[in-house]
Structure 1
């Protein structure tokens, strides 16, 4: 532990699993480098303070209902409206507190999707830095939305007149179908949200990326050219600490799957998990189940409560399905993913291509089968399969058995993908070492935060 810097950093996270974890990881990194930490959080999906005894937690009354969460777009819009006043009141109190007198607040670090925090920060004369929890490449796609609308790529949500397979020339190798859309009856509402998110990111004093130069150097150059603010690619954030210390899952993890993996040969198991937000139909669920069973490969399948729209958990499985696997398959409600991916038995990861999952798989050298659902997941999947070439994209669920075989049967293609994945794993490891790109970027970030001494806070 380095000496304390006598400065405090405020954090505001988006209260979703894939956003909260990297924010808390970043807070841990800054704390280990001498900063005191205050986490401002909503009552909805609030983190567990007992896991972070060195942090101060401050809860705001957000008036968000769990029922709103079923519609992700509406949830994000409501959060950016309902949190403004309670957040402003909370930060104002923190800036006037005895704690702040002893340890002056250096800045606010907020999730990029919490765009409302920029207006509050401006009002309070508080420096704001953004944490972008998704990849840089998907951010480039988001930033190009006005151009895409102008070109007619996304003139309507249904894209009925577009060739979905057409390559988007400005962002090759993305196709029209890879653009980060979300299914909604109100596309204009989505475009408005994106506009505010981009505007307030550009209006911040810098962006912290959970990525590294060796992975997304081209995208970083593009963003740096368009956004004239400092960029700090310091990821992968979860690799700064042991896996047990870097995850604050909102869902209880089933540790028994690790003992099950211990009984399997190296690179033999297909790990399947579609994250904390994806939802599938019963028909899709059964297609996945039979595809896994017919592949003849061992599999660990995370079936989260709420994954299926029509069932609580695995009631839709045919009678005797699990027994017929004879121990070759294990189904759990949630898994300690970082530990699973680091396990020698895991040979492939069938994923929804969320950024955290993608980065965790890259860091362990595990090839991916990509089945994206929405927004940045589509971009991530395309980059995995066609830029980094460390996985395959599943675009037809009728091909499940065949695509598992392509990655798991030891053919030349599978060997080349695995070799590339292991090379990228090494790059992710090197970037965090002394003199590595992420290590240097973190040092620059620490210096930058300390440079905010000259700001005079004027809380109202």
Structure 2
């Protein structure tokens, strides 16, 4: 169906793949709702334009040589000034990854409404906010406390504190008028409610973004017979863990598909499709994962139980969700070949593994229901479209009113409800 073009939105993603992918998925969602989508991105790790012919791309001269977050604001500001002159009131807002917090300053200078995209889970964000409010309750801590529960953050332990994220991510949303989440209200409702009380702006949990474009892959293995192993493209593990993991996989005597990863073969490049494409295949029975939030959502959406091996940042918090809250996976905390072998066999062959599979199938059905007409994600997407359509780029962003989460043009109290 031909969709009438509405206003334009400018997306500013962070350059790491786990951030870039959901931002581009959000762009596809907004484009399907009639918005023109402009992606202003860094030159480093720039997206593949041919995969998104419906977008307008603008590469900024960032001068970045690696995965740093020091990003000069002048190129973005100059580009937006030109855009506002050309687009006028058709330029509705700028949506930026929460790591790119400098974007809010630029948007404020130009009186352009801004919206934050949270690519982390609400559980991770809630842990960060809670720790920031009373850091003396959590830091410093001794090695003897690593397995002790974190106050007010069950089921997290001191060893699960996302230190890398806390050290590198700005929690403040500045003058942004709303927050978009790649999660579901049905999945993280209590966390979202806590965070909305803290930030006091409309929340739009419209995920999982990846379910908007179902994909498939091919293999000749029987259904539910293959363990997919992928620890991402960024993390490198030491030689001892690599050897123990390899022996554990081999000794389990299960079919194993290992995704391309710099920790395994930094010199190797394999085109084997996206994680979602692999997980969607009926041969996949389990997912050995580092538990970034995209992978966690994709695994649940494709009914694939997990072996969780978190390594850094938000992965530590995310891993506690499928293993301790949703109970759709097992956490791997001792990197020794016998332990790895046993946990693979438990997932792939045992009755306990079958129970985990049943729970993840049930979770998937709840997610599907939330994406149907009148489901939570579908309703929140409609609210988001109405919200963005009501924004006017030439006016200053509205000042949030403490205790009231709505604007004159939009009753956003519908976005997060008590259930």
1:307 corresponds to which of 239, 245, 263: 263
2:95 is aligned to 109
8 Å CA contact 1:207, 1:232 repeated in 2? yes
Aligned length: 395
Within a 5 Å distance, the mapping from 1:110-259 to structure 2 comes to: 110-147=96-133, 149-151=135-137, 153-155=138-140, 159-161=141-143, 163-182=145-164, 193-194=168-169, 197-199=170-172, 201=173, 203-243=175-215, 258-259=217-218
1:318 is aligned to none
Cα distance in 1 between the residues matched to 2:366 and 2:62 = 41
Cα distance in 1 between the residues matched to 2:244 and 2:267 = 16
2:353 is aligned to 414
8 Å CA contact 2:226, 2:255 repeated in 1? yes
Task: Describe the superposition over 1:353-373 as per-residue Cα deviations: whole angstroms up to 9, x where unpaired.
Answer: 000000000001100000001
Alpha-carbon shift at residue 147 of structure 1 (Å)? 4.0
- Evaluate the alpha carbon distance shift between residue 86 and residue 287 of structure 1 in structure 2; reply closer, same or farther with a 3 A threshold: same
1:84 corresponds to which of 73, 96, 118: 73
Alpha-carbon shift at residue 192 of structure 1 (Å)? 6.0
8 Å CA contact 2:111, 2:393 repeated in 1? no
8 Å CA contact 1:370, 1:394 repeated in 2? yes
Runs of 4+ in 1 over 6 A off after TM superposition: none
Alpha-carbon shift at residue 202 of structure 1 (Å)? 5.2
User: Is 1:271 the equivalent of 2:228?
Assistant: yes
- Evaluate the alpha carbon distance shift between residue 343 and residue 207 of structure 1 in structure 2; reply closer, same or farther with a 3 A threshold: same
- Evaluate the alpha carbon distance shift between residue 302 and residue 294 of structure 1 in structure 2; reply closer, same or farther with a 3 A threshold: same
Report the secondary structure of 1:139's partner residue: helix
Alpha-carbon shift at residue 162 of structure 1 (Å)? 5.0
Task: Describe the superposition over 1:185-236 as per-residue Cα deviations: whole angstroms up to 9, x where unpaired.
Answer: xxxxx75643xx211x253111100011111111111111111000000001
- Evaluate the alpha carbon distance shift between residue 60 and residue 457 of structure 1 in structure 2; reply closer, same or farther with a 3 A threshold: farther
2:288 corresponds to which of 329, 339, 350: 350
Cα distance in 2 between the residues matched to 1:243 and 1:445 = 26
Cα distance in 1 between the residues matched to 2:50 and 2:272 = 21
8 Å CA contact 1:303, 1:313 repeated in 2? no
Cα distance in 1 between the residues matched to 2:85 and 2:396 = 9
2:37 is aligned to 37
- Evaluate the alpha carbon distance shift between residue 334 and residue 279 of structure 1 in structure 2; reply closer, same or farther with a 3 A threshold: farther
8 Å CA contact 1:148, 1:154 repeated in 2? no
Task: Describe the superposition over 1:29-48 as per-residue Cα deviations: whole angstroms up to 9, x where unpaired.
Answer: 11111111111011111112
Q: Which protein is richer in helix relative to its size? A: 1
1:325 is aligned to none
Range moving further from structure 2, 232-241 or 50-59: 50-59
2:340 corresponds to which of 400, 411, 415: 400
- Structure 1 gaps of 5+ residues are 70-74, 183-189, 245-257, 315-330
Instruction: Give me the TM-score of the superposition, normalised by structure 2.
Output: 0.90
Report the secondary structure of 2:385's partner residue: helix
- Structure 2 gaps of 5+ residues are 398-419
